[in-house]
Amino acid sequence: MKPTNFFLYKLVPLLIVVMISGCASLKDQKKEVVSTVLSSDGSPISFAVKGMGEPTIVFVHCWTCNHEFWRHQIEYFSKKYTVVWLDLAGHGQSGSTRSDYTMEAFGDDVATVVNKVGAKRVVLVGHSMGGPVSIEAAKILGDKVVGVVGVDTFYTPFHYPKSQAEIEGFVKPFEKDFVGTREQMFQAMFTPNVDPELKASIAKQSSGVNSKMGISAMYEIFRWNAQNVPDSLNSCANKLKNINAAPTGNETALHKSVTLIPGVGHFVPQVKPEEFNAALSKIIIEYH
């Protein structure tokens, strides 16, 4: 065998091995392995890590929803950053041992996952209920959190009930007919021009949750807002940014920290993922 041919004979298999190993390595980096960790009260919290790079972006879903609501963001941001998703106790793939679904307990779910994955520089992104949850998590995590992004949760036109009587009055219809009242509320969260199939898909993804959990969590959202706003927002003002909906496109930002996405209702990341991702990307760069 000629020397050149002998060299190729030895080199080609080696290149094939290297290429296969490289492909496997890239595949492993992209693979999303679901893990479980116990929150402080023993609730099993499902989570996964995808991508590489700092800061670590942790996506926190909204009331009765789950991590799949962030799918567009998980895929987009994991190309450049480490992305962590989790299902809060009683939501999605996570179990629960609790009876009171407080924002503080949900915040512990998030902090437990962040500590488990060993993230050092974290941006918490919380949609709706995920906003208060993220602030509670930030209180636990301290300097590990370099940023908190509220998504259509703070500095919005929605007026949260303040008194005990107002809160009970808002929650009462859910106690009588959880499924029907929840569906009615969800329908009001979209602009008229939203694709009906997308709307149905969003509603379906969050259906089937435990009504006792949903009612407790809703009550606790209002309790948290009545007791913690504006003090909690002011205390993390140097870290807090917001991306809010502007359904008509004529709305004015209610705070200097707010970026508005026009022509969309409450489900901003799901209905307008490209616009939302662009807005969040700018904010993430500010946290570097």
The residue length of the chain stands at 288
Angle at 110 between CA 275 and CA 212, to 5 degrees: 95
Q: What is the pLDDT of residue 208?
A: 84
Strands 122-127 and 82-86, sheet pairing: unpaired
Supply the pTM of this predicted model. Answer: 0.89
2 secondary structure, DSSP code: -
Q: How far is CA 34 from CA 13, 45, 63, 122, 190, in A?
A: 35, 10, 21, 20, 31
Q: What is the pLDDT of residue 203?
A: 87
Give the strands of the sheet with 35-38, arranged side by side: 35-38, 44-50, 82-86, 56-60, 122-127, 145-151, 240-246, 258-262
Phi, psi of 109 (to 5 degrees): -55, -45
Cα 77 from chain centre: 12
Q: How far apart are CA 233 and CA 132, in angstroms?
A: 9
Residue pair 39/105 in contact by the 8 Å Cβ criterion: yes
| pLDDT tens per residue across all 288 residues of the chain | 544 443 333 433 433 333 333 433 334 445 689 999 999 999 999 999 999 999 999 999 999 999 999 999 999 999 999 999 999 999 999 999 999 999 999 999 999 999 999 999 999 999 999 999 999 999 999 999 999 999 999 999 999 999 999 999 999 999 999 999 999 999 999 999 999 999 999 988 888 899 999 999 999 999 999 999 999 999 999 999 999 999 999 999 999 999 999 999 999 999 999 999 999 999 999 998
Q: What is the pLDDT of residue 30?
A: 53
Residue pair 122/49 in contact by the 8 Å Cβ criterion: no
Q: What is the pLDDT of residue 18?
A: 33
- Crossing angle of helices 211-228 and 164-176, in 10° steps, is 160
